[in-house]
C-alpha cells in the first residue's frame, strides 16, 4: 500500500484534461492518504499557447474546495510545478506568495525561453553538451530560486531530442550534479523520485539511481515520490520500483508537506 503521490496533473495544466474529482476518487480507491495536485505554472516560453495560462485564483479555490469536500477520505495538498528559468525567478517568487501553497516542485522545462521538448536546444549539440547545458542551468536555478520544496525530475533532459540524446552520462557530469545536490541540501530542499521515465520509454526513474544515492550520501533527507501523472490511471504507476530504490538505500522515510513545511512519514 502506497502512502502518497506528490506529482499529479489535472485539467488546469496545459497538457492535461483529467477531471479533479476523478483524480481524487481514483486516489482514494488506491488507498492513498495524501496527494499533491501540482499543475504546471510556466512563464516566458517561446510559442507557449493559451492553454498554459493557468488561472491561479480559480485553481487554488478549486483545490481548497475539494480539500474540504474529501477531507475525511484523503488529504489533498495545494501544489504547483513551476517551470523555472533564470529570467522568471523574480516573477515566480512574488506570484507564489499570494497563495496558501502546501508544496512546490521546481522544474527546468525550458532554457533561454526554449522548451526542451521542441528540439531547438539540441540542435548542433552532442548528448554530453546538451546534458552539460541542462545541469548548469539547474545549478543556476537552485542557487537563485527559493520558493520551492523539491526539484522535479532532476535529469529528465534525456527524454527529449530523440535516440541520440537518450541515456545519462552521469560520470561526465557528476561534479555539477554534486553541486546541485549540495545546494539543495544547504537550502533545506529535496528531490523527487519521478516514475514517469518508465512511461516515456527510458526504463528508469528520474533522477537515476546513482543521483538519488548521492543525494542521501551527501546528507539529504527530503524526498517525495510522484507519478507525474496526466491521466488518473497513471497515479502511483511504477511506485513499487521507487520504494525498492529507497529500501536498497536504507531510506526509511518519505516527506509530507503542509504549508511548505516538511514532515516525515515512516515507510511501512
What pLDDT score does 249 carry?
98
Task: Give the SS3 label for residue 107.
Answer: strand
E-only strand ranges, the chain: 4-8, 34-41, 75-83, 103-107, 110-111, 114-115, 150-151, 190-194, 223-226, 253-258, 261-266
Tell me the residue range of the domain where 153 lies: 4-266
Residue 37: predicted pLDDT: 98
Measure Cα distances from 80 to 99, 100, 125, 133, 165 in Å.
11, 11, 31, 25, 28
Q: What percent of the chain has a predicted confidence (pLDDT) above 90?
A: 97
CATH of residue 182's domain is: 3.20.20.140
Provide the pLDDT for residue 208.
97
- What is the number of domains present in the chain? 1
pLDDT digit string, tens, across residues 194-226: 999 999 999 999 999 999 999 999 999 999 999
Instruction: Calculate the average pLDDT of the chain.
Output: 97
Mean pLDDT over residues 86-102, rounded? 97
In this structure, the dihedral spanned by the alpha carbons of residues 1, 198, 181 and 250, taken in order and rounded to 10 degrees, is 40
Q: What is the pTM of this model?
A: 0.97
Average pLDDT over residues 39-56: 93
Q: Is the pLDDT of residue 268 over 90?
A: no
pLDDT above 90 for 144: yes
Position 51 scores a pLDDT of: 85
DSSP E strands, 20-60: 34-41
pLDDT, position 1:
73
Does pLDDT of 50 surpass 90? no
Amino acid at each position: 500500500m502506497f502512502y502518497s503521490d506528490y506529482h499529479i496533473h489535472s485539467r488546469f495544466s496545459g497538457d492535461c484534461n483529467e477531471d479533479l474529482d476523478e483524480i481524487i476518487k481514483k486516489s482514494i480507491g488506491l488507498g492513498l492518504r495524501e496527494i499533491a495536485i501540482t499543475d504546471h505554472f510556466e512563464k516566458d516560453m517561446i510559442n507557449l499557447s493559451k492553454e498554459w495560462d493557468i488561472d491561479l485564483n480559480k485553481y487554488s479555490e478549486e483545490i481548497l474546495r475539494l480539500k474540504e469536500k474529501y477531507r475525511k477520505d484523503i488529504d489533498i495538498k495545494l501544489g504547483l510545478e513551476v517551470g523555472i528559468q533564470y529570467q522568471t525567478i523574480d516573477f515566480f517568487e512574488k506570484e507564489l506568495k499570494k497563495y496558501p501553497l502546501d508544496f512546490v516542485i521546481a522544474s527546468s522545462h525550458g532554457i533561454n525561453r526554449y522548451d526542451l521538448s521542441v528540439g531547438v536546444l539540441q540542435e548542433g549539440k552532442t548528448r554530453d553538451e546538451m546534458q552539460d547545458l541542462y545541469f548548469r542551468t539547474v545549478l543556476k536555478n537552485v542557487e537563485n530560486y527559493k520558493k520551492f520544496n523539491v526539484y522535479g525530475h532532476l535529469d529528465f533532459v534525456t527524454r527529449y531530442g530523440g535516440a541520440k540524446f537518450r541515456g545519462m552520462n552521469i560520470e561526465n557530469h557528476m561534479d555539477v550534479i554534486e553541486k546541485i545536490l549540495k545546494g539543495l541540501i544547504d537550502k533545506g530542499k529535496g528531490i523527487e523520485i519521478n516514475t514517469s521515465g518508465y512511461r516515456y520509454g527510458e526504463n528508469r526513474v528520474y533522477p537515476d539511481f546513482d543521483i538519488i544515492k548521492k543525494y542521501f550520501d551527501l546528507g539529504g533527507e527530503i524526498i517525495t515520490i510522484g507519478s507525474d501523472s496526466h491521466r488518473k490511471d497513471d497515479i502511483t504507476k511504477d511506485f513499487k520500483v521507487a520504494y525498492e530504490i529507497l529500501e536498497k538505500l536504507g531510506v526509511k522515510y518519505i516527506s509530507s508537506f503542509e504549508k511548505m513545511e516538511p514532515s516525515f512519514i515512516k515507510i511501512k
